[in-house]
Structure 1
Amino acid sequence: MNNNINKLYSIARAPARRIIGLMSGTSFDGLDVALCELEGAGIGTKVQVLHFKTMEYTSDFKEDLKAVFSKKSVDMEKLVLMNAVVGKYHAELVLMCLKEWGVAPQGVDLIASHGQTVFHAPRSIHGKAVYPNATLQIGDGDHVSVGTGIITLSDFRQKHIAAGGEGAPLAVYGDYLIFSDPLENRVLLNIGGIANFTYLPSGFRSDEVFSTDVGPGNTLMDQFIQQHYPGKYFDEDAKIAYSGTVNEVLLAALMDHPFFMLPVPKTTGPELFNLAYLENAMAASGQANMTNEDIMATLCRFSAQAIAFSLLQYGGQSDFEVYLSGGGAHNPLLLAHIGNILGKSLEKTTAQLGINPDAKEAVLFAVLANETMAGSNIEFPKDGAIPSVTMGKISFPI
């Protein structure tokens, strides 16, 4: 037997695994690195986060990513080069973390690498009936594996699409396994570049689990800040948005898009919610001469309204507790808007459930890798919205 296959077999049979989860989101401010100890698999999975750190990207690397991110037309040479660059860079960042933590690469069983999404193209966005749902993440797993010496699972989203899904959101698999509760109905709300949530009914009822994107989280606000405030990547503590006033006419134009009327579950990305989307809404509403502060205040309210209205669809079905994660959980104005619409304050994060909310997405990819190695397919409803599959392509270091 090939030594790598034999090692996989041993890892799969072990009572526990040490897995590094890697996540780089659409804001690409840095690489989230979470070293996790996972015991068991399936609904009995136990996760302990041993170490976590966000490794901030250099300005040059961010600019390189922007050159190939969320564009219908890109320099193909640049895209191909960045596939290798991202993989190699992520490997270097992992090794830096391990050195800081005093952990040898040999002490890690697996890396679960999300890679960097550069284009997300579900049918609902591309609108071409003869073409399938599609998505592309770069940061080749072989480069991560060879660079670190650790077996790496990567490219998780392709199996989801191949089995009938849209490639997102994938959080539902990990959310169900580690956050379900026998008594409490829960909503796991992640506000990243795009906002999504998972609905977890009490009692581990997988046939009623639900997950969907709901619209922009931070992406429009971040894009606007980066265009108009050189050197800034986001509106820290919503200071700029707080200083402005919501423009109700523009807000109505922003909400006037077929995406919000699509049946759920659905997915989206910056390919739809971008600065061109904002410019079109401003032109359509006759609001071209607004201050930056008022635009930011309106964009913040727009994200909140899209999130809250989607959550309210579930308010009539059952009472639920909301647990936050993602960068948007640090935006006080965004949370205040959502809370005002819902009629409840949003104070709980996944920290109350034992997982650092900033680490949650990276941890969930470690859980996905654990399921691929040691679990079995979860029986979700057979409508294809949540395919009952395990995910991730395996790369060996030698």
Structure 2
Amino acid sequence: MANNYNELIKIGDKEYKYVLGLMSGTSLDGLDLALCKVKGTGYETDLEIINFQTVEYEDKFRDEIRKVFAKPDACIQDVCFLDQLVATKHSQIINDTILEWQLSSDLIDIIASHGQTVYHAPGHFHENKAYGNITLQVGDGDFIAQNTGIITASDFRQKHIAAGGEGAPLALYGDVCLFSNQVTDRILLNIGGIANFTYLPKLEGISSDFPFSTDTGPGNTLMDAYMRYVFGKEFDRDAKVAESGVVNEQLLKSLMENPFFDLHFPKTTGPELFNLEYLFDKIQSSVNAIIPVDVMATLNRFSVLSITEGLEGYANPGTEIFISGGGAHNPLLMDQLKLRFPNSGFKNTKVLGVDGDAKEAVLFAVLANELLFGDPKSYPYFGENMPKTTMGKLSFP
């Protein structure tokens, strides 16, 4: 134990910490790795991305995850298998990438591993009054620490739930540290499998607004699932399929008819709700027949509409909007968002020093830095659903 303690003291004495942030989202496209050089904490966080890379998953690995992904009746043995499989796979990717970057693993002070979410169910979704919000990420931190020889922080979302939150979105904590601005209100919009945004009111002056982060609904998850089901492709590259279709207004209206959209911010959701079963139920109840390209056009517009309704009231004239996530590469989706908020710009977070594709991995690097060295008392008041707390568990090699 003394050796582990001394190692943490040694890291803490460094002016700069090297943190490797990992992110694997609900899109299951691959593992994002962001090696960050970090100084300070809270509002004083100074971060530089040294290297960033996304390592694409093989189809076989994706299939193993999908055996249990977002399935309430998943086999517990399969979940246990996957916990080790994801950790072992991520460890291999880490070791290979460090070699590819021509770096020594001794340079890296800590790994910040998000893991792979396989089930996320806020209380408003599962409605079992005996329990609160629940979430599960697999890819055990002990396996990663043992296989890489690097201290690993993991399992970030459980502490958030234990402190009264929903376990997501956690972007708020990193966004506040990295992107708060003295004189301008900002929105950080991330369009991954699920779309979410962080609202950062300007720091200067007295404001009744508090920063918060919330999901808005589907980002890419329904479009990607339908593309796999009908077209046998992982996603709609350049929105070519959606652009060739016509939006079905009846289906669009039906898709928007869900109690989730009436909940107050902050709120979370996932593919446990917005999945193919949800889509097919809405098609059956709202339209007699519809061709696949029109379904894709409607799903694209569904993501746009749920995002824009979420942003209304916050994306005011003068508010800067910064975009990240896979949805930023969907030209049809982005064109529609810009039409609805013509004065907001929609710049990639790259202009703030963090490439939009790397942002989530970077944010978990920030969370690991806060876990070790941050002071939650210095955070602004987030509201009852965004508690003042650091998150993550430590695993030593």
Q: What residue identity is the alignment partner of 1:226? A: R
For 2:301 and 2:186, the matched residues in 1 are separated by: 24
> C-alpha separation between the residues in 2 aligned to 1:346 and 1:250?
30
- Which letter maps to 1:352? V
Structure 1 residue matching 2:314: 3-state secondary structure: helix
- How far off is 1:189 after superposition? 0.1
From 204, 214, 217, give the equivalent of 1:215. Answer: 217
Aligned partner letter, 2:328: A
Kindly indicate whether the alpha-carbon contact (under 8 Å) linking 2:23 and 2:114 is maintained by their aligned counterparts in 1.
Answer: yes
1:227 aligns with 2:226: no
Q: Is the 8 A contact 1:222 1:234 kept in 2?
A: yes
Secondary structure in structure 2 of the residue aligned to 1:208: coil
Give 1:206 shift. Answer: 10
Aligned to 1:279: 280
Q: 2:359 corresponds to which letter in structure 1? A: K
Give the CA deviation at 1:384. 2.1
- Residue number in structure 2 paired with 1:26: 26
The RMSD of aligned alpha carbons is 1.4
Answer yes or no: is the 8 Å Cα contact 1:189–1:323 preserved in 2: yes
Using the TM superposition, give the Cα deviation of residue 97 of structure 1 relative to its aligned residue in structure 2, in angstroms. 0.8
Q: With structure 2 as the length reference, what TM-score do the two structures score?
A: 0.97
Query: Could you say what secondary structure the match of 1:92 adopts?
Result: helix
Query: SS at the partner of 2:321?
Result: strand
User: Gapped runs of 5+ residues in structure 1?
Assistant: none
Displacement after TM superposition at 1:343 (Å): 3.6
Could you list the per-position Cα deviations for residues 13-64 of structure 1 after superposition, in whole angstroms to 9, with x for gaps in the alignment? 3211000000000011100000000011111111100000001111110000
In structure 2, list runs of 5 or more residues that go unmatched: none
Residue 192 (str. 1) matches residue 197 (str. 2): no
Q: d(CA) in 2 for partners of 1:112 and 1:284?
A: 44
- Which residue is 1:87 aligned to? 87
> 3-state SS of the aligned residue for 2:289?
coil
Query: Which whole-Å deviations, capped at 9, do the CAs of 1:258-287 have from their partners, x for residues lacking one?
Result: 1101111100000000001111111121x1
Conservation of the 8 A alpha-carbon contact between 1:135 and 1:167: yes
Residue pairs, 1:351-370, within 5 angstroms:
351-370=350-369
Measure the CA separation in 1 of the matches of 2:72 and 2:393.
26
Q: Deviations over 1:193-231 (max 9, x none)?
A: 00000001111779611110000000000000011112x
Q: Is the 8 A contact 2:181 2:203 kept in 1?
A: yes
**CA–CA distance in 1 between the matches of 2:381 and 2:104?**
41
Contact 1:184-1:321 at 8 Å conserved across structures: yes
Cα deviation 1:345-382 (Å, max 9, x = unaligned): 64401011011110000000000001111111143436
The answer as to whether partners of 1:18 and 1:38 remain within 8 angstroms in 2 is yes
**CA–CA distance in 2 between the matches of 1:195 and 1:97?**
28
Aligned length: 394
Identity %: 50
1:110 aligns with 2:118: no
Separation in structure 2 between the aligned mates of residue 357 and residue 206 of structure 1, nearest angstrom: 29
For 1:376-391, list aligned pairs within 5 A. 376-377=375-376, 378-381=378-381, 383-391=383-391
Q: 1:211 to 1:312 in 2, by over 3 A?
A: same
Matches within 5 A, 1:111-130: 111-130=111-130
Counterpart amino acid of residue 265 in structure 2: V
Per-residue deviation, 1:11? 1.1
After TM superposition, the structure 1 = structure 2 runs for residues 1-398 of structure 1, keeping only pairs within 5 Å, are 2-203=2-203, 208-230=210-232, 232-285=233-286, 287-315=287-315, 319-344=318-343, 346-377=345-376, 378-381=378-381, 383-397=383-397
Does the 8 Å CA contact 2:319/2:344 hold for their aligned counterparts? no
Confirm or deny: 8 A CA contact 1:304 1:337 kept in the other structure: yes
* 2:22–2:364 contact (8 Å) kept in structure 1: yes
Shift of 1:288: 4.2
Contact 1:27/1:193 (8 A) holds in 2:
yes
Residues of 2 paired with 1:262 and 1:102: CA distance? 48
Distance 2:95 2:201 in 1: 39
**Distance (Å, rounded) in 2 between the aligned partners of 1:315 and 1:22:** 30
Aligned residue type for 1:225: M
Amino acid at match of 2:172: V
Matching residue's letter, 2:322: Y
Q: Within 1, Cα distance between the matches of 2:103 and 2:387?
A: 36
